[in-house]
Structure 1
């Protein structure tokens, strides 16, 4: 992956807000590939694919994918061991 064509995890806020009632950019995520734990805002987000892809900033593994179609949205979280959301 080129280091110049990604956005930070904040770029995913809009798409994820349609699926979750909380702001996930401040959530703690653990990569299933390397075990790195960090706030989701540090993820590398790619929006030039079909849908949105978030990758681990440590090992470049795919953390999540969101693909929106006219009638539904696909959410793939298999790259995350967990996603810890702070209580308000």
Structure 2
């Protein structure tokens, strides 16, 4: 049996959290492909490209991409219809 080529969203939460400024693991993403609503942490993450790709666990559509260069961070969240972020009580 071959090793999986992906990890879950927890593996890259730090990189996304650094850019977005909050813990993304529990953010609920709605997939534009299949409509699945699931936490960021459940996404399938591929890190072998020149960046990070997060795909829907069910249909495989790209939910988010993050690429960091020496001078910029490129962030594409186009595969998620929306992100629902829990706001802690004050």
TM-score range, shorter chain: over 0.9
Number of corresponding residues: 87
Q: How does 1:2-13 map to 2 (within 5 A)?
A: 4-13=4-13
Q: Which has the higher strand share?
A: 1
Gaps of 5+ in 2: none
Partner of residue 49, structure 2: 49
Gaps of 5+ in 1: none
Deviating above 3 A after TM superposition, structure 1's stretches of 4 or more consecutive aligned residues are none
Q: CA RMSD in A?
A: 1.3
Note closer, same or farther for the CA distance 1:63–1:17 as it changes in structure 2 (3 Å cut): same
- C-alpha deviation, 1:11, in angstroms: 1.1
**Equivalent-residue separation in structure 2 for 1:3 and 1:76 (angstroms):** 28
**Equivalent-residue separation in structure 1 for 2:20 and 2:68 (angstroms):** 14
**Structure-2-length-normalised TM-score:** 0.92
Structure with bigger gyration radius: 2
